[in-house]
Amino acid sequence: MNLSPESLELIRHAIGFALLSCLLSFLWAPLLTKLLYKFNITRRSEYDATLAMGARKEKRGVPIMGGLLIILTVAVLTYLFNWERRFTWVPIGVMLLAALLGGIDDILNNVYGKKRRLRNLSHVLRLIRVHKSWWTRVWLTITLPWAAFQRSSLWLGSHPGKGLHVHERLLTQFAAGALTAYWIYFKLGESWREIHIPFDGFINIGIWIIPLIILFVMATANAVNIADGMDGLAGGSLIITFSALTLLSWMQGLHEITILNATTVGALITYTYFNVKPARFQMGDVGSLGLGALLAINVIVMNNMLLLPLLGFIFYLELASVLIQVFGRTFLGRRIFRMAPLHHHFELRGWSEEKTVMRFWIMHAAVVMLGIWVALY
């Protein structure tokens, strides 16, 4: 191969970090499993309705928050060996912020004693009219838009349980996206305000890149979270995607981002080893939200934001299935799929979990290859 010494050195470093990450995560995986069992951080049917589905009953009691294996391994190795102020501070910081949000949700669902309920909007309007305290009526009137936002956000998720509500997730994810947008727009310089238009070069959209970044960070974090519903599905798909990102960032000469992507691949290999059916542990929101945010940021830094639906194909497909299902139930009065997200639809049609996961992997790999091809133009 006719590669420059710098390119060869970078790919050697990337492979070395992937191997180191894989080995380190293997070494402490038993400790994590033991801690999750000790503190009873496991899947429970009272907040996970899918556990009532046939063979899925066997998943009761399986530890969640296994995503900590990836998040902590990547964060520690990056801090020790790849802590570059310009390129890795914010990706790791946003990843940890999103992971913290997911971790809080996972823990609340396991330790909080009762469901956290929201008032119906009709109840709030009635209190505004009849409450004895005029101070309370004034307060409820002022906060009526907030109450409306809380209730309307339920369209995008399940009804309130013991964990975080949808509006709380959205606000935290918005903050993560806003931090990413601030970093890229104000800190990385003019060239990072451009987005790659496939087959048509680059275009600078100025300040409009800020809401676009926020949208993609929020969408990708939720998309990975939604896809984390079958043993091995999210882990294997993320290996494919972050491997593609390692290749693309290497070709662009983005040293720190290449190392970060490769480090993530190594930890994901270990996680998926323990997560294939029957799973020793599952990713949980702590892993899916954190890795979804990291995925979005790394693609954005590589100026390939518009290719996220290809590079993260299976995640966006799962997200789209949920939105289509919500649209069907809200405006058409019927379900489009037997159950959303999409992997449950095929499960209810009789596909085994292994068949669904492996076919999703194959579809994902094919579309990611398409994404790599498009990114080269």
Tell me the CA end-to-end span of the chain in Å, nearest whole number. 22
Q: Find, among 196, 206, 203, the residue nearest to 299 by Cα.
A: 196
| Range with lowest mean pLDDT among 45-59, 199-213, 356-370 | 45-59
- The stretch 125-139 carries a mean pLDDT of 82
More confident residue, 303 or 166: 303
pLDDT tens profile 136-164: 888 878 877 767 766 666 666 555 566 67
| Range with lowest mean pLDDT among 25-39, 122-136, 341-355 | 122-136
Confidence of residue 133 (pLDDT cuts 50, 70, 90): confident
Q: Mean pLDDT, the chain, as a whole number?
A: 88
pLDDT tens profile 69-79: 999 999 999 99
| Range with lowest mean pLDDT among 167-171, 232-236, 320-324 | 167-171
- The stretch 324-328 carries a mean pLDDT of 91
Asked if the model's pLDDT at residue 308 lies above 90, the reply is: yes
Give the pLDDT score at 55.
59
- The stretch 65-88 carries a mean pLDDT of 93
Distance between CA atoms of residues 329 and 9, nearest Å: 54
- The stretch 13-35 carries a mean pLDDT of 97
Asked if the model's pLDDT at residue 85 lies above 90, the reply is: no
Q: 267: which residues sit within 8 A by CB, 6+ positions away?
A: 21, 22, 25, 69, 70, 73, 74
Give the pLDDT score at 346.
94
Confidence of residue 47 (pLDDT cuts 50, 70, 90): low
Q: Find, among 320, 325, 358, the residue nearest to 339 by Cα.
A: 325
CA dihedral 259, 262, 268, 270 (to 10 degrees): -100
Distance between CA atoms of residues 244 and 269, nearest Å: 14
Confidence of residue 218 (pLDDT cuts 50, 70, 90): very high
Asked if the model's pLDDT at residue 315 lies above 90, the reply is: yes
Confidence of residue 88 (pLDDT cuts 50, 70, 90): very high
Confidence of residue 283 (pLDDT cuts 50, 70, 90): very high
Query: How far lies 268's CA from each of 21, 52, 68, 182, 316, in Å?
Result: 9, 29, 11, 29, 19
| Range with lowest mean pLDDT among 183-197, 280-294, 336-350 | 183-197
Give the pLDDT score at 56.
57
Cis peptide before 63 (omega within 30 of 0): no
Confidence of residue 319 (pLDDT cuts 50, 70, 90): very high
Asked if the model's pLDDT at residue 331 lies above 90, the reply is: no
Share of the chain above pLDDT 90, in %: 60
3-class SS of residue 112? coil
Q: Which residue has the tokens 């990413």?
A: 180
Give the pLDDT score at 137.
82
Confidence of residue 59 (pLDDT cuts 50, 70, 90): confident
| Range with lowest mean pLDDT among 190-194, 287-291, 357-361 | 190-194
- The stretch 41-54 carries a mean pLDDT of 63
Asked if the model's pLDDT at residue 124 lies above 80, the reply is: no
Query: How far lies 299's CA from each of 193, 286, 292, 375, in Å?
Result: 13, 20, 11, 11
pLDDT tens profile 261-277: 999 999 999 999 999 98
